């Protein structure tokens, strides 16, 4: 019985040491981490354009095209 207690004590010391090492590594990573400033991280926006004022025309054309496809589908089913 004493051996089992002693084994669990050794494991808890090992676990405590590992936990302390992991916490220290996490602290070091957190300090070294360079947080985004919002300027360098916006590189993915290069080469994109702002939506034009005629975007609503494309939306309207798409809605009309979908409407025509639905209308033709319903018309062909009724024949």
Nearest CA among 62, 65, 69 for reference residue 77: 69
Q: What angle do CA 52, 54, 57 make, to 5 degrees?
A: 145
% of the chain exceeding 90 in pLDDT: 33
Q: What is the pLDDT of residues 47-78, one digit of tens each?
A: 888 888 899 999 999 999 999 999 999 999 98
Query: Which pLDDT score, from 0 to 100, does residue 78 have?
Result: 80
Instruction: Report pTM.
Output: 0.40
DSSP 47: T
Query: Which pLDDT score, from 0 to 100, does residue 1 have?
Result: 47
């Amino acid at each position: 019985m004493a051996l089992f207690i002693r084994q669990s004590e050794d494991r808890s010391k090992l676990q405590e040491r590992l936990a302390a090492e992991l916490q220290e590594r996490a602290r070091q990573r957190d300090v070294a981490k360079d947080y985004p400033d919002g300027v360098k991280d916006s590189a993915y926006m290069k080469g994109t354009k702002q939506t034009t004022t005629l975007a609503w025309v494309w939306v309207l054309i798409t809605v009309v095209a979908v409407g025509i496809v639905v209308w033709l589908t319903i018309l062909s089913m009724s024949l």
